[in-house]
Structure 1
Amino acid sequence: MGSIDRYIFRTVLASFAVVLISLTGVIWITQALRGIDLMTSQGQTILTFLGVTSLAIPVLVLVIAPIALMIAIAHTLTKLATDSEIIVMNAAGLSPIRLFRPFLFATLVVSLLVAVISFYLAPDGLRRLKRWDTEITADILTNILQPGRFAQLDQNLTIRIKERQPGGLLVGIFVDDRRDPKERNTIIADHGTILKNNDGSFLILEDGNLQRFETGKTDPAMVAFGRYAFDMSKFSNRSSQDVTYDIRERYLWELLAPPANDPLYKQMPRQFSAELNDRLMAPLYPFAFAGLTFAFLGSPRTTRQSRNFSMGNAIAAVFGLRTAGFACSVTAVKSDLATPLQYFLLFAAIGGSVFIISRGIVLEPPAKFIEAINRSNARLARLFRRPATA
């Protein structure tokens, strides 16, 4: 790799890293804010919150990386064109296909990164996220029942404790149970303890009363009790060993050869095939985006020639290809033609870009189109020109 290649290679990767970190950080913050209730309602620490939400970063990088590469290549080419370096390189005998070589090396690095994320890191992060979420909520009596907070264990079940004392004693217990649409139970107990045995987990309430509001009755039924067992097995017996991983949480080799007795595979075989093809196509998008961007912006132009049209077309081409890819991924579950069409679009974009670059074709708007725009701009300038003042 020559000095020019190293210069362009470093510039592209440095720009790629800046854009990737910036975009990923912004999108991660917007997504992480949705899980802020992990700290507020479930009593978790800031480190747990950051750890759980950061596991989704590989999935974000998987989508953002090809776009960040496109922006980095466009920035590098614009910089080279602004400094007239592309024209000097072309005058020195450096063909467009030769100039594309350092960009291709940078694209190869990004493609390998995307492949590692797509094949392993993204599903592994989603697996860890599901296991961590399960572990956080597994022992709900210990982790979620925090003193002074209303913990909503179910859509219609709320529990609050006043304080925890040594020996596992819970003081000042309030339970609002509306899971049965025909009645509503409100329990207030002076204190209680947690009991776990082979039959499940129970909240043993002592010295309290229970108010039952039944549908159709105006007066509640009140019962005082000395000891009352509230069943919590539904919320505390979940184990991370019993987690069932979704299709997006499977590794590549699990999609290539799923077990024949896998109930999820038996139920959704087409979804497995669609997800597998998405994983395999993910490393191809950086090559397609890089090729399209260079095809529109890599040709030598003078400083008098506008690059706005080429930049707009490059963005439109990349956006159209990525949108078509998403559409094919969604419809691949129901259509047998969606996946071949997605492969065709990717290879057509790569092949067309290589053809344009190797032939040195300059993609510019027709001269008549430019003349029409210039005439229109001139008319607008005359129309809005301010009259001379004395």
Structure 2
Amino acid sequence: MSLLERYIFRRTLIFSLAALGALVLIVWIVQALQRVDIVRTSASAAGNMFWIAMMLIPDLAAGVVPFAVVIGAVQALNSLNADSERAVIAASGARNFVVVKPILALGFAGALLVLVISHVVGPIAQGAFYNGLRAVNADAITLFLTPGRFEEVQKKLVLSVGNVRGSTISDLFISDQRDPAVDLNYFAKEAQIAERDGQKYLLLFDGQLHRRAVANGAASVIQFQTYAFDLATLQPSDDGDWIRTSERSTSELFLPDPNDKLYQSKPAAYAKELAQRFSDWLYPLAFAMWALVVAGQPRTNRQGSGPAMALGLAGAITLKALGFVVLALIDTDIRWQAAAYVVPLASIASNAAFIWLNTNLAESRPILAVGGSFQSIGQSLASRFGGRTASRGAA
């Protein structure tokens, strides 16, 4: 890269890293707050929860890297225009490639980062995250319990609670159908998580146990004052059927075990995960090129930078949403797997055409018409509410 190209790349990288850090932090806080109740149990619970939540960061980063690229690229290009540097570059006779090359370099860097996360770091972090959730103990059990909802914490094992206060649970219901010979339903007015002799138990108080034999339908009801439910029974008994596709390595997805229960029941899940891992890296490149389309042209200081950022984010969100829809369709028909690659590749091809033709999309008539409409609506609202404020002040 030339000196000028390195300067543009450095500015773009700084803006992108700032956007990436902010986006990851916001999404991570939202995810962590969904399980904040566990922190109230003990200091060790808070430490465990922090470690489990940290394992979300690689997957969250892979999801927001494309948006960080488009935000950083558009912001850098807007700043070049605001400082009249972009106009000077154009007036000096420099080719557009001087601006295009550093933005594309950022897109390729983002693509490489997503590739490493998708195929190496992501599966390891996802495995650590879900293994932390599966390590059922006095601290982690509340991760599965949301008041007022029926949560399937394990296949054919459903729990529901009225309220959770630390390690104390009120209005507990447990439906246990894991034994093919008998169905068990527990009702308890109160329950408490306790540890005795190194074992974790859920102590049920003042409740009933409803037992029904599957073979003949014979039912019995047992009234109890105290009953101990062993939390160790919540841990998976099989050796791999409970591992999600996001935790499996790419080689395992390519060559799945024919005896794998998950592969036998949901083969489309493997195709979907593979399509996502091998298509996600294309989005940072597509978004970088989209930033060049909407903000790469030189502008005067009188032309605002807001439309370029709005158009950049709108296009990025639309493309990513379309990609999510296509991935969801793979669950119903595996033939949609090819479309997962077509969506970002089509965006890259169309953006490349716009860049090659030196098209100023932000100044096109449809975009200007939409922007003018919003501006008219804003002025109308401002005059209406501003008039009311002025009349009230005069009164």
- TM-score range with shorter-chain normalisation? 0.7 to 0.9
d(CA) in 2 for partners of 1:168, 1:135: 14
Q: Residue in 2 aligned with 1:286? A: 284
User: What do the CA deviations read for 1:310-362 (whole angstroms, capped 9, x no partner)?
Assistant: 43332222111111101001012223553333322211211121222223222
- The CA deviation at 1:277 is 0.6
Larger radius of gyration: 1
Amino acid at match of 2:92: A
TM-score, normalising length: structure 2 = 0.73
User: Contact (CA 8 Å) 2:87, 2:298: kept in 1 or not?
Assistant: yes
2-11 or 40-49: bigger deviation: 40-49
User: Contact (CA 8 Å) 1:135, 1:239: kept in 2 or not?
Assistant: no
Amino acid at match of 2:242: T
User: What do the CA deviations read for 1:149-171 (whole angstroms, capped 9, x no partner)?
Assistant: 4268974465448998xx8899x
User: What do the CA deviations read for 1:126-166 (whole angstroms, capped 9, x no partner)?
Assistant: 2112222233439999xxxxxx94268974465448998xx
User: What do the CA deviations read for 1:103-136 (whole angstroms, capped 9, x no partner)?
Assistant: 1112222111111111122221121122222334
CA separation of 1:65/1:236 partners in 2, compared to 1, >3 Å: closer, same or farther? closer
Between the two proteins, the alignment pairs up a number of residues equal to: 338
Residue in structure 2 matching 1:187, options 220, 225, 230? 225
What is the RMSD computed on CA atoms of the aligned residues?
Answer: 4.0
d(CA) in 2 for partners of 1:163, 1:336: 47
d(CA) in 2 for partners of 1:313, 1:357: 16
Q: Residue in 1 aligned with 2:179? A: none
User: What do the CA deviations read for 1:47-81 (whole angstroms, capped 9, x no partner)?
Assistant: 11100111111121121111111111111011011
| Pairing 1:5-84 to 2, within 5 Å after superposition | 5-40=5-40, 44-84=44-84
- The CA deviation at 1:33 is 1.6
CA separation of 1:61/1:162 partners in 2, compared to 1, >3 Å: closer, same or farther? closer
CA separation of 1:134/1:149 partners in 2, compared to 1, >3 Å: closer, same or farther? closer
User: Contact (CA 8 Å) 1:62, 1:117: kept in 2 or not?
Assistant: yes
Q: Residue in 2 aligned with 1:353? A: 351
| Pairing 1:277-316 to 2, within 5 Å after superposition | 277-316=275-314
| Pairing 1:160-179 to 2, within 5 Å after superposition | 160=192, 175-179=205-209
d(CA) in 2 for partners of 1:130, 1:30: 18
Q: Residue in 1 aligned with 2:92? A: 92
d(CA) in 1 for partners of 2:331, 2:338: 13
2:258 counterpart SS class? coil
d(CA) in 2 for partners of 1:281, 1:62: 12
Q: Residue in 2 aligned with 1:247? A: 245
CA separation of 1:174/1:361 partners in 2, compared to 1, >3 Å: closer, same or farther? closer
1:334 counterpart SS class? coil
151-160 or 40-49: bigger deviation: 151-160
Q: Residue in 2 aligned with 1:113? A: 113
d(CA) in 1 for partners of 2:194, 2:306: 65
1:15 counterpart SS class? helix
Identity %: 25
Amino acid at match of 2:322: A
User: Contact (CA 8 Å) 1:138, 1:236: kept in 2 or not?
Assistant: no
Q: Residue in 1 aligned with 2:255? A: 257
Amino acid at match of 2:46: I
Q: Residue in 2 aligned with 1:344? A: 342
Amino acid at match of 1:286: P
Q: Residue in 2 aligned with 1:365? A: 364
d(CA) in 2 for partners of 1:350, 1:263: 38
User: Contact (CA 8 Å) 2:241, 2:262: kept in 1 or not?
Assistant: no
Structure 1 residues without counterparts, runs of 5 or longer: 142-147, 189-202, 204-229
CA separation of 1:307/1:184 partners in 2, compared to 1, >3 Å: closer, same or farther? same
CA separation of 1:36/1:380 partners in 2, compared to 1, >3 Å: closer, same or farther? closer
User: Contact (CA 8 Å) 1:16, 1:72: kept in 2 or not?
Assistant: yes
User: Contact (CA 8 Å) 2:111, 2:285: kept in 1 or not?
Assistant: yes
d(CA) in 1 for partners of 2:348, 2:195: 64
d(CA) in 1 for partners of 2:129, 2:293: 40
Structure 2 residues without counterparts, runs of 5 or longer: 142-165, 175-186, 212-219
Q: Residue in 2 aligned with 1:221? A: none
d(CA) in 2 for partners of 1:368, 1:292: 15
TM-score, normalising length: structure 1 = 0.73
1:264 counterpart SS class? helix
151-160 or 348-357: bigger deviation: 151-160
d(CA) in 1 for partners of 2:63, 2:370: 39
User: What do the CA deviations read for 1:223-275 (whole angstroms, capped 9, x no partner)?
Assistant: xxxxxxx5637637657966721122212121122122222112211221121
User: Contact (CA 8 Å) 2:241, 2:261: kept in 1 or not?
Assistant: no
d(CA) in 2 for partners of 1:168, 1:344: 54
CA separation of 1:42/1:127 partners in 2, compared to 1, >3 Å: closer, same or farther? farther
